[in-house]
Chains A and B, each alone.
Chain A
Amino acid sequence: MTDDSIGAFRDELIDSGLVIDAGVEGLYGRTLAYEEIVSGIIALTTRTGAGDGAMAVHFPPLIPRWLLERTDYLKSFPDLTGSVHTFGGDDKRHARLLALVDGGHDWVEVLEPAEVVLRPAACHPVYPLCTGGPLPTQGRRFEVQGWCFRHEPSADPARMLCFRMHEFVYVGDPDGAGAHSELWLKRGAEMFESMGLDVDVVVANDPFFGRAGKFLAANQLDDALKLEFVSPVSSTETRTAIGSVNRHQDHFGLTFGIESADGEVAHSACFAVGVDRTALALLKRHGLDPGRWPAEVRARLWP
């Protein structure tokens, strides 16, 4: 894999009119042709999990700052974090802001952090919904989707700053979390394969930050807590994760204070689809014109 081939795929996507360069590396606009692929993937994911009794919820791409702190995301991925800043000054500070902008200087120093940050994973807002008493015996299930942000600017279109994630989350006891993972490993593989994608399942190796991150990464590999569905996306030579099954053990149970039905610390697990990456994988696999994709793939996405 070379940067050239990755850049070439990015250029093809833009030239074909599927996505639009939105002005900085990693930020894209989408045209209707691309969004129809996204809608197809989201609808197929929803159908795959229909019947489990999951509560479908949507949240904005912003979460409270306290929520990000509770997830321990800052410990693992400080370098991917995005925070919202707003202007709260008086006329004098406003004049300072405009002077800095006019002078071509860094004007962000005039702003102040807001009470919200950008959401790095779709599922984070559902954990606070599980607090305030023991969970029901069968645990709780959520279907949650929406825009997420991770600051990793790159020429690789698979590394978008802003992208959509669609998840099925279980919160309950350890057995339930294990069953959820097992079920979605099977379902996820079948779902991706039904779209004609060539998918392998591998143990995830997330880019945890710093020395503590080396330790977390070693633990993640040792325990095989997170498995990824990998497929060619930007290059046919290397594979990129387009989905994952993540066993959090009692991580969110502890940090959010969630109790299972028997009063123990709750365990959780989730299945996540990288919706934009899956769209790119489909475009890589079947070509840039969805109208000419195999009939069975089209039937799965747009029944």
Chain B
Amino acid sequence: MEEEIRQILEEHGRLPVPMADLDNNADLYEAGMTSHASVNVMLALEDGFDFEFPESMLRKSTFESVSAIEAALTSLVGTPVE
């Protein structure tokens, strides 16, 4: 799951630094992800994992780091298969 999340962030996060330079707890907004880019990330995650975020989770904190996204996905999609 982490690998897929990182790949989606790499493609849609429009980050000025490579994802490889950011650890799982790094703040993606501080790293340069904009509001509009995080919308693309949200849509790509929904597409990639085939689900919809509930409205209550459509806020910045859900997408602020790889760990936060993984926690949100785990709660919605189920336990990650390692």
Contact = CB atoms under 8 A, between A and B. Distances in A.
Interface of A: 72, 75-76, 211-212, 214-216, 218-220, 222-223, 249-251, 254, 265
A72 B34 CA distance: 12
Given A216-B36, A218-B59, A250-B32, 12 more contacts: A75-B36, A211-B52, A211-B55, A214-B55, A215-B39, A215-B59, A216-B39, A218-B58, A219-B35, A219-B38, A220-B35, A222-B60
B36 to A, nearest CB: 5
Contacts of B32: 250
Contact of B42 (A76, A212, A220, A251): A212
17 contacts: A75-B36, A75-B39, A211-B52, A212-B39, A212-B43, A215-B42, A215-B58, A215-B59, A216-B35, A218-B58, A218-B60, A219-B35, A219-B38, A219-B60, A220-B35, A222-B59, A250-B32
Interface of B: 14, 16, 32, 34-36, 38-39, 42-43, 52-53, 55, 58-60
Contact of B34 (A211, A218, A249): A249
B16 A265 contact: yes
A211 B60 contact: no
Contacts of A76: 36
Chain A binding surface, main DSSP class: helix
A72 B36 CA distance: 8
Contacts of B59: 215, 218-219, 222
